[in-house]
Amino acid sequence: MGGTNGGDGMKVFPVEDGVIIKSWCESPEEGALEQARNLARLPFAFRQVCLMPDVHQGYGMPIGGVLAAGGAVIPDAVGVDIACGVAAMKLPISEIPTDKLKKLMGYIRERIPLGFNRHKEPQDSAYMPVRTCDFTMGSSGVIEDQWDQALCQLGTLGGGNHFIEIQKGSDGYIWIMLHSGSRNLGKQVADYWNKEAVELNERWHSAVPREWQLAFLPLDSLEGEQYLDEMRFCVKFAEGNRRLMMDRIMDGVAELGIAAKSLLRIDVAHNYARMENHFGKNVMVHRKGATSAKMGEVGIIPGSQGTASYIVEGKGNLESFQSCSHGAGRRMGRKAAIRTLDLETEKARLDNQGILHSIRGNQDLDEAAGAYKDISVVMAEQSDLVDILVELHPLAVIKG
């Protein structure tokens, strides 16, 4: 596989005709590494491509990858679940009785649609983003077309790796964590602009091969401005989605007499592109399955179902473009997990820890802990990127 030690556990992979790759993953899978090589060969790639310790192969760009681009934005380097992220809330209690924990799980399932489900009625539009730019809602027409559906998707979890957990922290407090994104709105925006980018790149006879799945939009083009505006709208929508879910959960916490208020809320996105200054240059930083970790910035790194999660503080490591992992990272795909993992073993993993869960059949194995990397290894590999503030262990898990 190659690669040389770059210090602090980071490995360096040179790329012929491209910038270097810096990996905080000791042994990145070949598929992810090949995608990183394509990123490194982009004519606008700046300085290096960074791979976080949870990196694995994605669509076009590896999940757990960070790309800084000069003058361009790549829709598929943001991903289809724009601004997918994690929110965490600390409650002013140190324990939660099992009976109330079960009641809270029931309350959540009743009021937060899971999987492909959505609300039957539009939700409070105050959670929707403000329309700020002249061409918002009129550039592609996607957001305008999806507006009514988006109002019904506010406060919904989604499926796949989305989850809600009640956790006990090493700080002695009970925490609630959830993972969700921009729902179908983000996917529709992403699909539209990736298709537009592919068509434009072919018209321009772009030097970026189509099979790389990295079609781009110039920042100084109308299309680039419009994509970024709609992407930012989806970022705000995803934040509103998570905030509404947390508000609903807090209503349940109060109604059940568990706590009257929360002590702290944190919200972190991990699929987006943002203009930042690195090494003296303004560049469009794409984080796909990666989290911002500026000096002193508080973040969230969730583990897999039944393992620890972490509240962290960034160290501002310049070599990673001030980034860290967004989770544990998959070690096998969903279909492979369903095919190879043992249902009883994965249920026992949670049962033996006393974790309340809803794993019932093989279809739930796609997000089992066995499908993911060891979160303790992932955290050790990025010790130069973040400090751990609180270690969280699950008491109850609700899968999307």
Burial class (CB in 10 A: 0-12, 13-18, 19+), 321: buried
Residue partners of 104: CB distance under 8 A and separation at least 6: 96, 166, 249, 252, 253, 256, 258, 396
- Backbone φ/ψ region at 286: left (φ over 0), alpha (ψ -120 to 50), beta: beta
**Cα-based distances in Å from 96 to 91, 189, 399:** 10, 41, 20
Residue partners of 312: CB distance under 8 A and separation at least 6: 293, 298, 299, 300, 301, 324, 386, 387, 388, 389
Residue partners of 1: CB distance under 8 A and separation at least 6: 27, 28, 30, 33
Count of residues for the chain? 400
Task: Tell me how crowded residue 120 is: count the other CB atoms within 10 A of its CB.
Answer: 7
Do the strands 174-180 and 163-169 form a parallel or antiparallel pair, or are they unpaired?
antiparallel
Q: Which residues are catalytic?
A: 326
Residue 335 phi/psi, 5-degree rounding, is -65, -40
Evaluate whether 66 touches 49 at the Cβ level (below 8 Å).
yes
3-state helix, strand, coil in the chain (%, to 5): 35, 25, 40
